[in-house]
Amino acid sequence: MPAPSPLLDDETLRELIPRLRRFARSLAADPAAADDLVQATLERALTRGASRRNEDALQPWLFSVLYRQFIDDHRRAVRWKRIASLFATENEPRPPTPDQVFDARTSLASFSQLPAEQRALLMLVSVEGLGYREAADVLGIPIGTVMSRLSRARQALRAMDEEKMPASPVLRVLR
């Protein structure tokens, strides 16, 4: 093991650990994974710190080591996930739950109650993924009309959903 650089003393590294943790936690969703990243970074700093070219830029070097370690870990996880999926049994598609069927049917019922112009716009923009300008060109109407019809259609759907859902559950006090 090469001798550590004189700038990699315990005090200097301890001062940088909170910053490294903060950066690692911004990258990794899990605090334990972030701590693992910091540990791997410090291990690499202690084992390869003497090979650094610029002795003055310790903090940026450690951040770049941490970021590269994160990227390597992420790529490794994706690669292993892809390999594991080759050996996994295919999951049968699950049938929709009764709640999902009910929600889909009520949404379709609400959608069918809208005027034809609003249904057409919602289909073009929300389902087919056309932009407002493209939908206006398809229907031969101004873009302002597209935006106002979409707004009214979405408001109407929200209002229909609110009518079907009670505002708050009715609770009774049992003694």
Ranges of each domain in the chain: 10-88+105-163
Beta-carbon count within 10 A of 70 CB: 19
pLDDT for res 53: 62
Least confident of 57-71, 88-102, 146-160: 88-102
Least confident of 36-45, 59-68, 122-131, 159-168: 159-168
pLDDT for res 92: 64
The residue-averaged pLDDT of 163-173 equals 66
Quick check: 1 pLDDT over 50?
Answer: no
pLDDT for res 143: 93
Long-range contact pairs involving 34-43 (C-beta distance under 8 Å, separation at least 24): 37/66, 37/69, 37/70, 37/73, 38/66, 40/66, 40/69, 41/65, 41/66, 41/69, 42/13, 42/17
If phi > 0 it is left, if psi is from -120 to 50 it is alpha, else beta; for residue 105 that is alpha
Quick check: 166 pLDDT over 70?
Answer: no
Q: Is the full-model pTM beyond 0.75? A: no
Q: Most distant CA pair in the chain: distance in Å? A: 77
CA dist 7 and 53 (Å) reads 13
Q: Three-state SS across the chain?
A: CCCCCCCCCHHHHHHHHHHHHHHHHHHCCCHHHHHHHHHHHHHHHHHHHHHCCCCCCHHHHHHHHHHHHHHHHHHHHHHHHHHHHHHCCCCCCCCCCHHHHHHHHHHHHHHHCCCHHHHHHHHHHHHCCCCHHHHHHHHCCCHHHHHHHHHHHHHHHHHHHHHHCCCCCCCCCCC
Report the first-to-last Cα separation within the chain, whole angstroms.
74
pLDDT for res 75: 92
CATH 1.20.140.160 fits domain 10-88+105-163: yes
pLDDT for res 106: 87
Quick: pLDDT tens for 60-80: 888 888 999 999 998 998 888
